[in-house]
Every structure is written in C-alpha cells, then in structure tokens.
C-alpha cells in the first residue's frame, strides 16, 4: 500500500508518502517534505494560530504535488471532481478549495491507497487544515483515512532506523524493542511520562500541570533576548555558561513523589533573576550564559529524577525520549550518564536526525502501528474531526 501522511498540528506543514510491507512489519519512505513557518512566527514571539492556519492552507497543496513527484506518483491527466461535495467539505477553507481544484482536476488519481493525518492534539485551526485536506482527498480519490494522535507520532518517531530515507525497511525491528518502555515526551506543547506496555496502547503516568518544557525554554529565551523558538538558542548559549553563585534556580516539584511536572514557577524565577541582574547592570553575555545554563540544569534535574523513578516503578526495559526538546544535547547526555551508572541493562531510544521536531514521518509510523494493531483503523471523511486537547490512550 502507498500511504500519504499529513501533519499540520502546529507550525510545520509536512507530508510524506510511504510504501508499506505489513508482512515484514515495515515500510519504505518514498517521499518526505516539510515547510516550516518558524520565520513567519518569529515576529510574534510564538506560534500565532490564525497565521499558522493560513500558511498551512497556502503550503499544503504545492507540497502534495512535490511529494507525489518525489514518489514518482504524479501524472498529469484529469480527475472528475464532484465540486459541490468538495466545496461543502472545504466550506471553511476557500483558499485550499481553489488550490486543490486547480491541481486535482489536472492530475490523474495517484496510486495512493490511504491517508494518515494528525487529528490532535495541537492548535485547532491548524489541525483543521490538515483534516480538511485529508477529507477532500479521501472524497476525491475514494480512499480511507487513519486518524493519528500527534503524541503517538512522537513516541513512534524512535522506530526509524538511522538510514530511514534509503532503506527498504525504514523502521527498526519492533520486536527488538523490549517492553514495557517509558516514554518521556518533551515538546513545545507537552511534557509527559507515558507507559508503553504494548504498541498502540499508552498510559500517561504524569504530565505538566502548567507549562511544557519547550514552552519554558522558549519563554526563557525571550527573556534573555533570543528569537523564537528560544529552545535551541538557550541550549547553545548554556554551553558557554559556568557555575555562578549569583545564579540559582529551583527544581520545581522534584521531590513531589509523583510524576507531575511544573515549569511555570521556574520561568518566573528566571524572570526575577533577569530583572535583578538588569537592575545591577550585570546582565552581560556571561550572565546570560550562566542563567541559560542553570535553567537547563534545573529542567534536566527534574526530568531525570522523575523519569528514573518511573523506570524503576514500572520495571521498564527501555526509555524513549522524544519531541522537539529531545534535540537538547545536555538533556540527552545527562540521561545517558544516568543510565550508564544506574540502569546498565536499559536501552535508550531517541529520534534520528530530522525526526525530533514535528514531521509527517512520525505520523506515518504511528498510523502504521495502528494498521498493525487494530482490526479496522480506518474512518471516513465525515467521521474525522480535530480534537485540540486529544489525550493518549
Ligand atoms: O515537538 P516540537 O517540534 O513541536 C511541538 O509539538 O511542540 O517541539 C518544539 C519545541 C520548541 O519549544 C523548541 O524550542 C524546542 O522544542 N526545542 C528545544 C531544542 N530544540 C527544539 N528546546 C531545548 N533545546 C533544544 N535543543
Ligand atoms: Zn510535536
């Protein structure tokens, strides 16, 4: 089967095409493309939902042509469109409707058998673009849809092998991942510890009660004068920092004895520290680096402490760290050190390059798990809706 996967939950418009081999429990990647909106949102210091929606609507159709060509599935020709039905489906997306009609009416139905699309969690207006796009294609091409949870996407993003773009088998052998594993999901919107006893079934054992880790990184970045998204810049700057007695931040809820996280207070503590140093005229480059370093250490200490407790309590065989913040080298190195010392039998799984931030291959891997584990993972266009606060289950 050839499957098109679609991700538009936040500020990346991403499409991929995979060819499945369910007998081998694997697939190959035929095309993978992404348009990031980061430069557009920079001005606003964060993702601006109405703008994200507009950009997705503008980009998703050209991206479709791009991936169809990359997968050699694009053929000029004609497709009979039922315009009233398509127009009704895309009632709220006039721009997308016009773009799709222009393209689809001049394209032969490609050899695509199904669609996979993120239906939550995420920014609802952004999610709807991908969903309406999938609904339209489902109707025009008469193919079913597998709805995908974005967070399952982050978890399964670790299943890709190193050379995933070139391999016939893009995924590692799933049977070699001993379960249960604990997944620490750290992104701009989420901070969760998830127990994976079985692929396709997830239990959230703890999450943040306020800000997500990535969100805290981004807000701290802004306080330190960095552009959105601040996460990678805070982390880079932290490498120049040193221990500094003037800079000390709390480790929120580190001893709470549960798996809840809180990063809002830590962010406020950084604000006070910054204001204080500004007043003293001491907020120079070194001070900024020292604050960034202490912030990164505070976050890491809490993540490591809570995650190791979960590993012990649930007898985990492996640890998955995924989501945009899993690109943070200090966090990953700290986990590596801790595992080496205390959990020598445990396997650490992190996404390969290009798969830690939002992308559509992770949606393909999560949709593929559904194909393998559910009798009928498909739904029809009219059953598909966005669920902004969708939970893993
Ligand atoms: O998973 P993701 O791409 O989008 C969401 O689903 O939220 O995560 C994006 C988040 C942003 O907050 C970004 O600043 C953060 O991941 N991030 C990092 C690093 N790289 C990305 N945070 C800290 N250190 C990094 N190296
Ligand atoms: Zn994400």
Distance 338 CA to ligand 2 centre (A): 25
**What tokens appear for 114 in the block?**
């199904």
Instruction: Write down the pLDDT at residue 78.
Output: 87
In three-state secondary structure terms, 247 is: coil
DSSP assignment letter at 179: S
Q: What's residue 245's pLDDT?
A: 94
pLDDT reading at 43 higher than 90: no
Residue 240 pLDDT > 90, yes or no? yes
Closest to 247 in 3D by CA, of 193, 287, 214: 287
For residues 150-165, average pLDDT: 98
334-384 per-position pLDDT tens digit: 999 999 999 999 999 999 999 999 999 999 999 999 999 999 999 999 999
DSSP string across 363-386: HHHHHHHHHHH-S---B-GGG---
Task: Indicate if ligand 1 lies below 6 Å from the C-beta of 351.
Answer: no
Same domain, 16 and 133: yes
Alpha-carbon distances, residue 368 vs 3, 258, 374 (angstroms):
10, 33, 10
In 12-144 the beta strands, taken as DSSP E runs, fall at 12-21, 26-36, 114-120
Whether 393 is in a domain gets the answer: no
Beta strands in 22-91 (DSSP E): 26-36
Same domain, 255 and 193: yes
Q: pLDDT class for 81, splitting at 50, 70, 90?
A: confident
Q: Give residue 5 CA to ligand 2 midpoint distance, Å.
A: 15
Please state the rounded mean pLDDT for residues 300-325.
98
Q: Is residue 241 pLDDT above 90, yes or no?
A: yes
- Of 222, 209, 219, residue with least CA distance to 188: 219
Q: Which CATH number goes with the domain that contains 43?
A: 3.30.420.40
SS3 219: helix
Q: Are residues 147 and 232 in the same domain?
A: no
Domain interval for residue 44: 2-160+355-383
Residue 338 lies in a domain: yes
Ligand 2 centre from 19 Cα, in Å?
24
Same domain membership, residue 192 and residue 264: yes
Q: Please name which of 164, 183, 213 lies closest in space to residue 347, comparing C-alpha atoms.
A: 183
For ligand 1, say whether the CB of 192 is within 6 Å of any of its atoms.
Answer: no
Confidence grade of residue 80 (pLDDT, cut at 50, 70, 90)? confident
* C-alpha angle 18-367-178 in degrees, rounded to nearest 5: 105
The response to whether residue 10 sits with its C-beta less than 6 Å from ligand 1 reads: yes
Whether 120 is in the pocket of ligand 1, judged by its Cβ within 6 Å, is: no
Query: Average pLDDT in the 155-177 region?
Result: 96
Q: Do 27 and 44 sit in the same domain of this protein? A: yes
3-state secondary structure of 159: helix
User: Do both 345 and 376 map to the same domain?
Assistant: no
The mean pLDDT of 5-31, rounded to a whole number, is 97
Confidence of residue 45 (pLDDT cuts 50, 70, 90): confident
Ligand 1 touching residue 125 (CB < 6 A)? no
CB contact at 8 A, 325 and 214: yes
Task: Kindly state whether residues 268 and 320 are assigned to the same domain.
Answer: yes
Query: Strand 347-349's sheet: what is its strand order?
Result: 201-207, 191-198, 181-186, 318-322, 347-349
CA of 387 to the centre of ligand 2 (A): 15
Is 106 inside any structural domain? yes
- Do 314 and 361 lie in a common domain? no
Task: Say how many domains are in the chain.
Answer: 2
Query: Is the bond preceding residue 121 a cis peptide, omega within 30 degrees?
Result: yes
Average pLDDT over every residue of 239-263: 97
Query: pLDDT tens, 110-153?
Result: 999 999 999 999 999 999 999 999 999 999 999 999 999 999 99
Specify whether 103 is located in the same domain as 186: no
């Amino acid at each position: 089967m050839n499957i098109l996967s679609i991700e538009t939950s936040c500020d990346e418009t991403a499409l991929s095409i995979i060819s499945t081999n369910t007998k081998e429990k694997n697939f190959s990647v035929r095309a993978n493309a992404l348009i990031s909106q980061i430069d557009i949102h920079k001005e606003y210091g964060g993702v601006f939902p109405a703008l994200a929606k507009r950009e997705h609507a503008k980009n998703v159709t050209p991206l479709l042509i791009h991936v169809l060509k990359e997968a050699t599935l694009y053929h000029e020709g004609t497709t009979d469109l039922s315009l009233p039905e398509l127009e009704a489906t895309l009632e709220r997306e006039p721009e997308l409707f016009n773009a799709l009609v222009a393209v689809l009416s001049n394209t032969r139905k490609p050899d695509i058998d199904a669609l996979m699309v993120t239906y939550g969690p995420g920014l609802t207006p952004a999610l709807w673009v991908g969903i309406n796009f999938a609904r339209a294609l489902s109707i025009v091409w008469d193919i079913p849809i597998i709805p995908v949870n974005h967070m399952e996407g982050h978890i399964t993003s670790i299943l890709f092998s190193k050379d995933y773009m070139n391999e016939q088998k893009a995924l590692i052998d799933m049977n070699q991942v001993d379960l249960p594993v604990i997944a620490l999901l750290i992104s701009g919107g989420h901070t969760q510890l998830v127990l994976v006893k079985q692929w396709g079934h997830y239990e959230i054992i703890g999450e943040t009660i306020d800000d997500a880790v990535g969100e805290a990184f981004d807000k701290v970045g802004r306080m330190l004068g960095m552009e959105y998204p601040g996460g990678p810049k805070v982390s880079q700057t932290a490498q120049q920092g040193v221990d500094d007695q003037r800079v000390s931040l709390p480790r929120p809820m580190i001893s709470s004895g549960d798996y809840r996280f809180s990063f809002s207070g830590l962010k406020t503590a950084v604000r006070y520290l910054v204001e204080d140093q500004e007043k003293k005229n001491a907020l120079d480059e070194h001070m900024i680096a020292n604050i960034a370093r202490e912030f990164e250490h505070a976050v890491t200490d809490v993540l490591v402490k809570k995650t190791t407790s979960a590993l012990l309590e649930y007898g985990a065989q492996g640890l998955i760290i995924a989501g945009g913040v899993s690109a943070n080298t200090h966090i990953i190195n700290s986990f590596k050190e801790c595992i080496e010392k205390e959990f020598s039998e445990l396997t650490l799984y992190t996404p390969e390059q290009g798969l830690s931030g939002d992308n559509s291959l992770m949606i393909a891997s999560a949709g593929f798990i559904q194909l393998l584990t559910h009798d009928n993972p498909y739904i029809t266009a009219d059953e598909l809706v966005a669920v902004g606060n969708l939970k893993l289950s």
